[in-house]
A and B are shown apart, each in its own frame.
Chain A
Amino acid sequence: MIDNASAITGTGVVSGLAYAPALWVNPEPELASKYEALLVEDVRDAEAERWKAAAEMVAARLFQRAATGSGAAADVLSATAALAGDRGLQRATLKMIAAGSTAEAATVAAVGAFIVKFEKLGGLMAERVADLGDIRNRVVSELLGLPEPGVPTPASPIILLADDLAPADTATLDPALIRGIATRLGGPTSHTAIIARQLGIPCIVAAANLADIVDGSVVLLDGFAGTVERGTVPAESESKVLADAERRLAIQSWRGPGRTKDGTAIEILANVQDGAGARIAAGYPAQGVGLFRTELCFLSAQSEPSVTEQASIYGEVLAAFPGQKVVFRTLDAGSDKPVPFVSHPDEENPALGVRGIRLGNVEPGIIERQLDALALAAEQQGIAGAKVMAPMVATLDEARNFATACRARKLSPGIMVEVPSVALLADAFMAEVDFFSIGTNDLTQYTMAADRMAPSLAALTDPWQPAVLALISLSAAAGIRSQKPVGVCGEAAADPLLACILIGLGVSSLSMAPAALAGVGIQLGEVTLSQCQEAAEAVLRTTTTEQARATAREMLSPTIHSNSKE
């Protein structure tokens, strides 16, 4: 990086690097603010013809682009083109022109009337408002003799910059030419983000200072970090982009199963929260489910779902991974994540309050009924020894009682390691149950006494904190001594560099969001178990998060491309 390099920050929505000249979409035309009768009668017919020609030209261009596109993209364009030729719109516009309005003002007023109606109808109709605005802008630009607003067709690869993109803009984006997208507005679920994800174009949104970048300025866009940088060294930037492209290709084609370079099997599992999510996860290289959060069906219910209702929901997840590992977690709710039909006590400190397994104290039997439902679902699917774990366990009594309740139903009991007390007495806890799963997000929050939701405490709520790694090490060691499995579910498992350290500490399975699986799987395949163990030992001797990361990177590089944010 050279001195004048400067980064503009937004929200990264599609990972990947791109390096190319920036090009803004053509701006929208200025719109007449009101409709006034201005034209003398003699010229009104000519004005009507002028409008018809412009509307026809806009429709024809969109239909032509639809013909060169395909699938959903072409459908979007055809639909927008049809709007330009809509008879109701034509009638309303021509009526205003006949009354003396200019074609431009009539277009704005007529489309505006439809926009008002659609917004009033709400729902699906309101979603058409962007299309109407798009048609209006295209017709007005045509009337004014301006270039068609929207995405230009570049002769060579570019990074597209825009305030936001309309559906018609994104319909014909060619990933070969549009290497990256950055928008000033929008969010992770905006239309731009969805299309960019589908096309696999690196993308950032909500980059407030994007307007500082001018057309033709060569920029490096990082869709993971959410940055656009100017003034980076060309050769360096190009080689980074090349390496990133190779890596993305490898991630797309990785199919598992998880194993280190020397062939040690590591279970790579998915975190899911319902049947639909499990079926999606089954399309990724997941070897099972390491964390099934069962609270979803409770959080939206007005009364407790019956055992049969619960069993059918749990059965869907089991059915998505037939013959594979599925680990259930009993209800993890509390006054911070309230269940509507449970009366949660008023708490000063919800994160340290009645949540997880403690909920059984205020709502007797709720956890037992979950276990009944799970046992029923497992029986229906012919599964013996289904795995289930309890969250927020802090005492040996809690672990013992939970294990007894599970075993009475022929379920295999485990506990989450989130409260430091469990890690500190890991051997005693492990003696009560069949397995551990370390929830790194909460373990970090409780170890560092730092609210994981507080942005100003981000440096403390970092799983690379030496004390957190030490507690993970204690838990994993108890698993090795007792020959019982210890897994990790939580953000830490999705960080490829940290995943290697966790394996080195003795963790045997990693559970994460499906999208992160391949990245982690590929990294594990590039290091040996003994390399991981050596790096883990070295990391345990560090005293800061920076040192921990640097040590891990140094000992496991150059094969590691960590996704972890510094």
Chain B
Amino acid sequence: MAKQTVTVGSSVGLHARPAAVIATAAGAYDEEILLSIDGEDPVEATSALMIMTLGADFGMSVDVESENADAVAEIAALIAKDLDS
């Protein structure tokens, strides 16, 4: 199981547009990719709606987990970027 912790880089947080970009990218992998904050219930990265329920604001830490290390790296990088600009 690969795991990374990253800081949210989108100024609006993981809101509609950033969440949609992440969900689309996550959908390209077969393996499950999970996101969580502070050890709370993880959500699937393939669902923009579920990502939004995290309520992840700019600057918050998000844990990314998956069997696929490439997937973790890609999704973590997206979370760290400002996707709303």
Contact = CB atoms under 8 A, between A and B. Distances in A.
A283 interface: no
A88 to B, nearest CB: 3
B52 A125 contact: yes
Interface stretch (B1-9, B41-49, B71-79): B41-49
A86 B49 contact: yes
A79 B20 CA distance: 8
Contacts of A114: 49, 53
Q: Give the one of A79, A83, A91, A124 with max B CB within 10 A.
A: A124
Given A121-B55, A125-B55, A88 B16 contact: no
B12 to A, nearest CB: 6
B83 interface: no
A117 interface: yes
Contact of B47 (A91, A117, A121): A91
A128 B52 contact: yes
A83 B19 CA distance: 11
Interface string A67-97: 0000000000001001100111101000000
Contacts, number: 46
A86 B55 contact: no
Nearest to A78: B20
Given A82-B48, A88-B43, A121 B53 contact: yes
A254 interface: no
B53 A83 contact: no
B47 A87 contact: yes
A49 B29 CA distance: 24
Interface in B49-74: 49-50, 52-53, 55
A89 B52 CA distance: 12
A128 B55 CA distance: 13
A294 B62 CA distance: 44
B55 A88 contact: no
User: What bracket does the count of chain B residues touching chain A fall in?
Assistant: 10 to 19
A118 interface: yes
Contacts of B55: 121, 125
Interface string A83-126: 10011110100000000000000000000001001100100110
A79 B19 CA distance: 11
Contacts of A128: 16, 52
Residue picked from A83, A88, A117, A124, most chain B C-beta under 10 Å: A88
A82 B13 CA distance: 19
A544 B54 CA distance: 64
B53 A86 contact: no
A128 to B, nearest CB: 6
A69 B38 CA distance: 41
Q: Which of B16, B49, B50 has the most CB of A within 10 A?
A: B49
Contacts of A124: 12-13, 15-16
A369 B29 CA distance: 63
Contacts of B20: 79, 82
Contact of B48 (A83, A91, A118): A83
24 contacts: A79-B17, A82-B48, A83-B48, A86-B48, A87-B23, A87-B44, A87-B47, A87-B50, A88-B44, A88-B46, A88-B47, A88-B48, A88-B50, A89-B47, A114-B53, A121-B52, A121-B53, A124-B12, A124-B13, A124-B15, A124-B16, A125-B55, A128-B16, A128-B52
Interface of B: 12-13, 15-17, 20, 23, 27, 43-44, 46-50, 52-53, 55
Given A82-B48, A117-B53, 18 more contacts: A79-B16, A83-B49, A86-B49, A86-B50, A87-B23, A87-B27, A87-B46, A88-B44, A88-B47, A88-B48, A88-B50, A89-B47, A89-B49, A118-B53, A121-B55, A124-B15, A125-B15, A125-B52
Closest 7 A-B residue pairs measured CB to CB? Answer: A88-B47, A88-B50, A87-B47, A121-B55, A88-B49, A87-B46, A86-B49
